[in-house]
Amino acid sequence: MSALDAVRGQAAAISVLRRSIADRRLASAYLFHGPSGVGKTKTAVALATDLIAGDDETLRERIAHRAHPDVRVFAPRDEGNRNIQVEFIRSEILPFTQFAPFEASCSFVLFPEADVSFPENHPEAANALLKTLEEPRPNVHFILLAERPNRLLRTIRSRCQLLRFAPLPAADLDAILAAEGIPDEARPVAIALASGRADRALALARSEGVDALFDRALALHTLSRTTKPGSFIRESERLSKLEDDALSLELEAFALVERDLLVLALDDAAPDLVFGHRRDALRVEAGRTRVTSLAARESSLRRAIDSLASNVNTQAMLDALFFELARFA
């Protein structure tokens, strides 16, 4: 069985890789880009496994446990701003790429969170890696993984074949949660909040934070319906201080509350609420906002969530969002 067969929800990307393998035209460098938790790392390891190990279970185990000399993973540093330093590139990465492969017929160099390791605003390490990407040794393949590819140097992006990884469908998330032993009743809300990400769905399903997210989102709805700029400017300042992942989760919960309010405003008995277990709290707010306003508010939040994937000024985006939401009070 091909290791690539185990990757869920990424048929387009897997098809491209299979075709490249069949044609013996695997790129020297790939940039797998898309949200976290959608299978980028799993696909990169699976690709290396299929080409190096085949059906050899011993080799597969070695690759899975990062014990094969021809599959190296270089993650961001744990300290500081986490970008990989030039000295490390020169002492650890470049020597590997100059002499690999060692045991197999090819080798793979994986960079999880490449947009963190080689950010555009710290170009020194990226420039140190660039020459190797431009003139790679035969049978040495680089795979860069990034949630925000625009944060990489343009010259790095231009040396890679781009493969987009999409958010996972709900059915795949449900299957992943089921395989992890998550109870049926805990899965729907986690999936709805996950934005197609298995890592987020698992974290939410295993935590007790869903109700806290709902409470904050409903409070944001109530606050943003007022026309007192000072109140929501303070809230936008609070949100702007969150890490990117926490901010996107807060905005996703906010958008889903607006969606539930819209559904309830149209049908008070609607069964398909994301936060159905908090129907009473939602019902109180559903009658206070016009249906057209609720629809517009959800659309505004969706645009804000989408903008997080680019190099947006978070504080400016949030200020603009809250002023826009206030228009739909």
Q: Could you tell me if 173 and 194 are in contact, meaning their C-beta atoms sit under 8 angstroms apart?
A: yes
Structure tokens at 308: 């997080």
- For the chain, residues classed under CATH 1.20.272 are 208-327
Query: Domain 3-164, what fold?
Result: Rossmann fold (3.40.50)
Q: What is the pLDDT of residue 227?
A: 64
**For domain 208-327, which architecture applies?**
Up-down Bundle (1.20)
Distance CA 329, CA 327 (A): 6
- For the chain, residues classed under CATH 3.40.50.300 are 3-164
Q: How much of the chain exceeds pLDDT 90, in percent?
A: 69
Q: Taking residues 86-108, report their average pLDDT.
A: 92
Q: What is the pLDDT of residue 174?
A: 96
Distance CA 128, CA 151 (A): 17
Structure-token match 């000295």, residue found: 87
Alpha-carbon torsion (39, 35, 187, 169), positive or negative: negative
Mean of per-residue pLDDT scores for the chain: 92
pLDDT band for position 10 (50/70/90)? very high
Distance between start and end Cα atoms, the chain = 56
CA angle, residues 87, 36, 38, in degrees to nearest 5: 130
Q: What is the pLDDT of residues 125-137, one digit of tens each?
A: 888 888 888 888 8
Q: What is the pLDDT of residue 177?
A: 96
- Asked if the model's pLDDT at residue 231 lies above 80, the reply is no
pLDDT band for position 323 (50/70/90)? confident
Name which of 58-67, 108-117, 281-290 the model is least confident about. Answer: 281-290
E strand map for the chain: 29-33, 71-73, 107-111, 140-146, 161-164
pLDDT band for position 234 (50/70/90)? confident
Q: What is the pLDDT of residue 317?
A: 93
DSSP state of 119: B
From the centroid of its chain, how far is CA 233?
A: 28
DSSP state of 278: G
pLDDT band for position 229 (50/70/90)? low
Q: Taking residues 80-109, report their average pLDDT.
A: 91
Q: Could you tell me if 249 and 193 are in contact, meaning their C-beta atoms sit under 8 angstroms apart?
A: yes
Q: What is the pLDDT of residues 168-222, one digit of tens each?
A: 999 999 999 999 999 998 899 999 999 999 999 999 999 888 999 999 999 999 8
pLDDT band for position 236 (50/70/90)? confident
